[in-house]
C-alpha cells in the first residue's frame, strides 16, 4: 500500500502556526503519520518506544515541568529529547519558549513553531487534518453526488448515463461532488470520504454538449467539496436474462478499501427516470439507518395475515 505524506509547510499554513526557530526548511519536511506526541515521559528521561516520525506538542504541563528544572538539567533533558530527530516541535497557547529549546533546535536543526490554540484543540484539529490527508485512497470511475445528506457513488460502463443522471439530480436541488473520476479516502475503519481532483472539480461532461461548470450554472449551493460515500448505485444496461432484486431482502455490498458499502444494481432502459430512482434509494437508505426496512415490514405483514387466516380456518372447523 502506498505511503502518503504532507509537507510541514502545509500544516503551518493551515493552522496559522508562528515560526520561531529553524523554520527555513519546513517546506522540505514531510509528515507521514497522523499520530502526535506530547513528550511528558520523554522529557523525564524515558525514551523507549519513542515515535521519532511524530510531531511533538508541548502544552502547559510540559512547559511547567521544564520550568521547575535548573538550567543545566533542562539543557540535558532537552538535548536527549532533540537527539531523537523528530519532524518539529509545536508550543501551544503561545507559552514561554525557554532559550535552551531554541539552542537545541539550532543544534539539531529541528523547527520550533508556536500556536495560540490550547493544546487539546490544536492536537485534535491536526489529527483530523492528517487523517484525511494521509488516508489510504483509490480513484474510481464514476460520479459522486449528495442526495438528502447521503453520499451516493454512481458507477457503470461509459455511456450508460451517469453524468446525465447526476445533472438531473443537481437540477432537483441536490449537490455534485465529482464527475468522471472520484478520489476516495479511507479516513477511519468505517468511513470513506470522496472528492474530485482539483483539475476537474465542479465540472461535468455531457456527451454532445461538452464540459459544463455546474457551480457557475446552478450556483454554489449545487456543489460540494467532499462527502462520505454511504451508498453505491451500479447502473447497467437492462439484461432480460438477468433476475434483478425486486423485494430488497437480500442486501448487496461493494467493497471499497476494505469497507463494505451498501449497494444497488439498477437496470437502465429507455423511459426510466434514474434521478428519481437515486433519490428514492437515498431515502430508503436513510430509513434503514433509522431502523425501518420496507421489505421486512412487508414480510412481517404477510406472515401476520397468514396467521390470521389460519386462526379463522381453525375457528370454522371448531
* Catalytic positions, written as ranges: 141, 162, 180, 246
Tell me, what DSSP letter sits at residue 17? P
Q: Helix (H, G, I), strand (E, B), or coil: what is residue 224?
A: coil
Give the span between the Cα atoms of 96 and 43, in whole angstroms: 17
d(CA 110, CA 193): 33
Helices (H), 38-118: 40-43, 60-67, 71-82, 99-108
Output DSSP code: residue 223: B
Distance CA 118, CA 152 (A): 37
Q: How many Å apart are CA 315 and CA 126, to the nearest integer?
A: 71
Q: Which residue from 198, 274, 183, 267 is spatially nearest to 229, judged by alpha carbons? A: 183
CA distance 246 to 298: 13
Q: What is the rounded distance in angstroms from the CA atom of residue 262 to the CA atom of residue 251?
A: 7
The answer to whether 238 touches 260, Cβ cutoff 8 Å, is no
Would you say 204 and 211 are in contact if contact means Cβ atoms under 8 Å apart? Answer: yes
Rg of the chain over Cα atoms, rounded to whole angstroms, equals 28
Q: Is 159 left (phi over 0), alpha (psi -120 to 50) or beta?
A: left
SS3 label, residue 53: coil
Amino acid at each position: 500500500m502506498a505511503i502518503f505524506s504532507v509537507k510541514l509547510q502545509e500544516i503551518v499554513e493551515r493552522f496559522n502556526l508562528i515560526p520561531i526557530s529553524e523554520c527555513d526548511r519546513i517546506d522540505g519536511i514531510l509528515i507521514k503519520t497522523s499520530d502526535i506526541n506530547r513528550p511528558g515521559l520523554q522529557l523525564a528521561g524515558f525514551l523507549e518506544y519513542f515515535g521519532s516520525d511524530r510531531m511533538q506538542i508541548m502544552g502547559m504541563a510540559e512547559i511547567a515541568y521544564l520550568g521547575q528544572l535548573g538550567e543545566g538539567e533542562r539543557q540535558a533533558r532537552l538535548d536527549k529529547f532533540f537527539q531523537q530527530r523528530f519532524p518539529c516541535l509545536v508550543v501551544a497557547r503561545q507559552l514561554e519558549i525557554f532559550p535552551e529549546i531554541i539552542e537545541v533546535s539550532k543544534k539539531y536543526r529541528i523547527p520550533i513553531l508556536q500556536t495560540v490554540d490550547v493544546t487539546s484543540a490544536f492536537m485534535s484539529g491536526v489529527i483530523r487534518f492528517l487523517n484525511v490527508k494521509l488516508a489510504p485512497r483509490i480513484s474510481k470511475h464514476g460520479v459522486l453526488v449528495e442526495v438528502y445528506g447521503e453520499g451516493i457513488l454512481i458507477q457503470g460502463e461509459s455511456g450508460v448515463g451517469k453524468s446525465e443522471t447526476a445533472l438531473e439530480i443537481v437540477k432537483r436541488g441536490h449537490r455534485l461532488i465529482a464527475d468522471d473520476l472520484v478520489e476516495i479516502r479511507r479516513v477511519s475503519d468505517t468511513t470513506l470520504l470522496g472528492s474530485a481532483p482539483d483539475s476537474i472539480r465542479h465540472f461535468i461532461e455531457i456527451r454532445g454538449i461538452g464540459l459544463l461548470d455546474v457551480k457557475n450554472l446552478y450556483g454554489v449551493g449545487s456543489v460540494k467539496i467532499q462527502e462520505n460515500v454511504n451508498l453505491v448505485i451500479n447502473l447497467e444496461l437492462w439484461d432480460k436474462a438477468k433476475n434483478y432484486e425486486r423485494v430488497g431482502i437480500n442486501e448487496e455490498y461493494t467493497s471499497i478499501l476494505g469497507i463494505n458499502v451498501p449497494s444497488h444494481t439498477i437496470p437502465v432502459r429507455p423511459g426510466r427516470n434514474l434521478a428519481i430512482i437515486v433519490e428514492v434509494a437515498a431515502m430508503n437508505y436513510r430509513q434503514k439507518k433509522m431502523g425501518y426496512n420496507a421489505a421486512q415490514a412487508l414480510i412481517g405483514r404477510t406472515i401476520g395475515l397468514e396467521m390470521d387466516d389460519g386462526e379463522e380456518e381453525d375457528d370454522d372447523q371448531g
